[in-house]
Amino acid sequence: MKCPKCQKLVPDRSRCVECGFPFYVQLDEAAVAHLATHPGGESVRLPSGRYISIPTDHNLEPTIMPLTRAQKNKHLLIALASLAALFVAMLIVGYLIKLGDFGFILAFVGILGLAAGWMLVAHLLDFFNGVAEVYIDRLIETQRYRFKHQQSKAHYYGYFEQLGRVNISANDHYAAIPGALYRLSYGKASQRLLDMVQVDGSF
């Protein structure tokens, strides 16, 4: 793994063998205040009531690693879903053009089709490239949030020391351990979070 502090490749341990950076800490108020202080960052109130300043950008260098079978399957599944969405969008656009309807609906469906096409290309590129960008960072806290205009859908965020706010899955939210280090794998082209795995803290 790559130490998030000194950026050197080190074996999985409870702390970095190069700089002594701990890979797991019990987060108290002082630790959170120390870990998440970023001048000029975005001020966020966490579900626990604590306020932190998370970075708007990060300087972590990713490690390039081969995709796992599960990650390849995820890319392929999203690409197939995007292809289906693109096909449906093209059918609707063709039907609307045939009817002579060039209004808002046509533009909206066209934009959705372009988005589906971009996702298709990006995930196919990631699938055939066969590698992921991997970061190691410490989780501070997670959040479950519903937007006022999307009450039926919950969004899940993880707040990390260096990466800031990251969109995560519901499973990751409920299984997350604040204070632990996580390995986050992203597709290079799609920049989609593929998985979030806790770093082994054993000696």
Listed by start position, the domains of the chain span 29-65+133-198, 68-129
pLDDT digits 0-9 by tens, 107-117: 888 888 899 99
What pLDDT does residue 16 have?
75
Average pLDDT of the chain, as a whole number: 80
Burial class (CB in 10 A: 0-12, 13-18, 19+), 4: buried
The pLDDT of residue 30: 47
| pLDDT tens sequence across 87-96 | 998 888 888 8
What pLDDT, on the 0 to 100 scale, is given for residue 80? 94
Q: What is the DSSP letter of 62?
A: P
When comparing pLDDT for 74 and 2, which is higher? 74
Dist CA 184 CA 168 (whole Å): 10
CB contact at 8 A, 158 and 142? yes
Return d(Cα 192, Cα 118) in angstroms, integer.
Answer: 13
- pLDDT at position 5, please? 67
> What per-residue confidence (pLDDT) applies to 200?
65
> Contact at 8 Å (CB) between 11 and 17?
yes
Q: Given a cut of 60, is residue 81 above it in pLDDT?
A: yes
Is the overall model pTM greater than 0.85, yes or no? no
Would you say 79 and 193 are in contact if contact means Cβ atoms under 8 Å apart? no
